[in-house]
Amino acid sequence: MPDEIASDPILSAWLEAHAQLKTWSAELVQTRHLAALAQPLVSTGQVYYCKPGLFRWELGQPAETIAVRSTNELWLIYPGLKRAERYLIDPNQAGPMRDALTLMEAGFPRDEETLRKQYRIATQSLTNGLSSVVLEPRSSSAKRLIGRVSLTFQTNVFTLASSEIEFADGSRLENQFRHGESNEPLPPGTFSNQVPSDFKVVEPLKP
């Protein structure tokens, strides 16, 4: 296995910029490449982030899938099916849920030490004002699901431009971000689950 990429000034500058990031939002174009399908699946939506690790992903217009990560739980909401899934989060517990959340947070690392603790930095390239970093999970359980994570950010403003996850089964998930806004107020209730009373709520991982 090639040696891990050493510290790089551009990567360090991006990480320093993220240390100052409090909120971020952007329009989203998500493309799923599946081996069973000749054509990829494309969805548009919106993503919101708030330090230290709150997320809201909305796919479809109107939203068909909503993922909301609060301090101690993750909600997956499907408005068309009137269904919601609730997952409790234990930050000290290892396993598939912890790995999935780590991957969700990959584009928003706290610092270089944390990033390198979770990922091996395999490659880094610079093209036309965009820097791309390829990360390989260190966790053995994550490796069974994920081959690598690629992040691309703009070097003039150090904001995330795209991300891509390559899964062990050969499928890929690409996210292209547009019109990103940093440190701007987010809509009230962005990270509340907002599940209507007539939705069926289940907890798939509850014993």
Q: Which residue in 54, 80, 21 sits closest to 193, CA to CA?
A: 54
Average pLDDT over residues 182-186: 93
> What pTM was estimated for this model as a whole?
0.84
Total domains present in the chain:
1
Task: Give CA–CA dist 73/58, Å, rounded.
Answer: 17
Residue 159 lies in a domain: yes
Q: What is the mean pLDDT of residues 94-122?
A: 72
Dump the DSSP string for 40-76. Answer: -EEEEEEEEEETTTEEEEEETTTTSEEEEE-SSEEEE
For 47-103, how does the pLDDT look when each residue is reduced to its tens digit (9 = 90+)?
999 988 899 999 998 899 999 988 788 899 999 999 999 988 776 665 555 556 666
83-88 and 73-78 strand pairing = antiparallel
> 187 in a domain, yes or no?
yes
Radius of gyration, CA atoms only, the chain: 17
Q: Is residue 182 part of a domain?
A: yes
- 70 in a structural domain: yes
| Residue 203 lies inside a defined structural domain of this protein | no
Which helix or strand (DSSP H or E) is residue 18 part of? helix 9-19
pLDDT at residue 1 greater than cutoff 50: no
Question: In this predicted model, what pLDDT tens digit does every residue of 133-181 receive, in sequence order?
Answer: 898 888 887 788 888 889 999 888 888 899 998 988 889 989 999 999 9
> Domain residues for 174?
9-192
CATH number assigned to the domain comprising residue 77: 2.50.20.10
Q: Is residue 96 part of a domain?
A: yes
Nearest CA among 25, 55, 14, 66 for reference residue 178: 25
Within-domain flag for 201: no
Region of poorest pLDDT, from 16-20, 107-111, 121-125, 167-171: 107-111
Q: Which residue has the higher pLDDT, 78 or 4?
A: 78
End-to-end CA distance of the chain: 40
Using CA of residue 29, residue 30, residue 31, residue 37, what is the dihedral sign?
negative
In a domain, 198, yes or no: no
Exposure b/e, 86-117, CB count within 10 A at least 16 = b = bbeeeeeeeeeebbebbbbbbbbbeebeebbe
